[in-house]
Structure 1
């Protein structure tokens, strides 16, 4: 079936375009993922959505269709909530410290799944850094135990999703799947025992305009998530600035935290710990891996904003794993209003 009726609604320009319902968006994305549209229709969809922008209902519907097509994810015997870290932007200027974040979380005993793929050639991807580090890679869903971390390529989750992401190389524009993957939790696919395998998603946005629709989409999906303005689009705090962040548990906002520069973090910190050094720009995957190894070995300081992010994730993970008034109070203590 043609998707031209949907394109007609979303492609009428900035004033005439109409957003799709959640059900319509799910139907449309399902057709795209199942390869039921022509290349011409696919290009028209990408350009029309790029002009219009995605509503929260559309994102929720696109995400519905995507998660319905994921493979079932087996639960670990201990059912400790897994931290899910989508990584699709890579780094062009600052070092890509997504692997560092994953390793630090694993050190705290949390299972961590990082998923992603490259969609352009001029950035240092998490996959490339991960390969340099020689860390574990998954090619099919597998249970993750406490303290275990793994990288998984998108094509091993859903090949058709990666194909839609790669359309960017042909037309030069991102499309809604680039937002969807940042909200994608592979542990919530069909057949997965959700009650036994709860998880915590680390989601990110690049442009402030995406903060509200992404937060609303996570709420519509009753997600446990930490949403932040990422470093070059990645869900890791920048070395010199703690990003604005939003915590949700079961889709309900539990804290909102304004951004703050690392100089303020240093002045607020207790003790005389040395500040993290300025990180060089434009590092290769191999150079980035070397710096991450040095940080993990303690010969280079870990940036304060990442340390703060770890604390937020730990508190949220505890509230998801062992819910209660005390755990929720700790999460809510991270609330900080804008100046």
Structure 2
């Protein structure tokens, strides 16, 4: 089979081209993931979508096809899906890792998954996992086991979807992001009932929310976050998009404090994550990031307000659910 019919739909020229339907997008991605599509056609398809701007239906169709190739999640679904695929050129430490750990501690088991390129070593999510106290899994089975034991795990993309990683890394050849970046944020490989997502460019908030609506995602919150991750800036009002009870939803959240520090102002030191968690480091701004982000994540899971602060105050004696 060939991708040419789908490339033709997207690229026939002014007045004749159109976006793919959700079904067409699913068919095209299934062909790509099968390995049968010519690499030139894959690049053409992704770059035409990039030029036109991917639609919610295209993202949802790609996700449907990608999910069909994944191993089944081996056990109960985690409460919360937390993707981490931002390039992170403009961010400091990934404080959101502590937010994810705090959400797990508050009783919402978390699957973090991702792959991060272009990050300076000190701010890399993968490099900071140990300092944040989050175990890294080597397979879906190991991730499920870690979540059962500790409430949280990080699953790298290459450990469960190496072909999607190949597609993501086409950015290194083509020089531009593609719809695959959006697909991975929406993928939710364990089909968790709640999901949180970050974006760097604001228009992608509604795109991802609409795609999740098409996919029937019960609960999801997406925001413009630090470096493109799900991480709220505590001194800014934020717009929230997503789904609640399987339908589209929008809201806003006011600033938490007056400190207008940039997230990347300080030279990042991953050890500060461990120091903040242990109490050795006192940093009200970083603490506000952690608690504010965790509160939004827990709200997405349907948990009561104030649970993040409660879990933070008892973190040294409590255990993850």
5+ unaligned residues in a row in structure 2: which ranges?
306-321
Which of 91, 94, 98 lines up with 1:94 in the alignment? Answer: 91
Give 1:40 deviation, angstroms. 1.2
Which of 279, 299, 304 lines up with 2:288 in the alignment? Answer: 304
Give 1:135 deviation, angstroms. 3.3
Per-residue CA distance 1:7-29 (angstroms, 9 max, x = gap): 11112457643011111100101
Match of 1:293 in 2: 274
Match of 1:322 in 2: none
Give 1:30 deviation, angstroms. 0.9
Match of 2:58 in 1: 58
Cα 1:128–1:34, aligned 2, differ >3 Å: closer, same or farther? farther
Q: Map of 1:214-233 to 2, 5 A cutoff?
A: 214-223=208-217, 224-233=219-228
Match of 1:127 in 2: 126
Q: How many aligned positions are there?
A: 296
Which of 254, 257, 275 lines up with 1:266 in the alignment? Answer: 257
Q: Map of 1:128-167 to 2, 5 A cutoff?
A: 128-131=127-130, 133=132, 135-142=134-141, 143=144, 144-145=147-148, 148-167=151-170
Give 1:277 deviation, angstroms. 6.9
1:5, 1:236 → 2: CA distance? 40
5+ unaligned residues in a row in structure 1: which ranges?
189-197, 268-274, 320-326, 331-339
**What TM-score, normalized by structure 1, do the two folds share?**
0.78
Per-residue CA distance 1:97-128 (angstroms, 9 max, x = gap): 23122122122132111111133355743112
SS of residue matched to 1:152: strand
**What TM-score, normalized by structure 2, do the two folds share?**
0.82
Give 1:67 deviation, angstroms. 0.8
Cα 1:304–1:256, aligned 2, differ >3 Å: closer, same or farther? farther
Give 1:216 deviation, angstroms. 1.2
Match of 2:309 in 1: none
2:21, 2:108 → 1: CA distance? 37
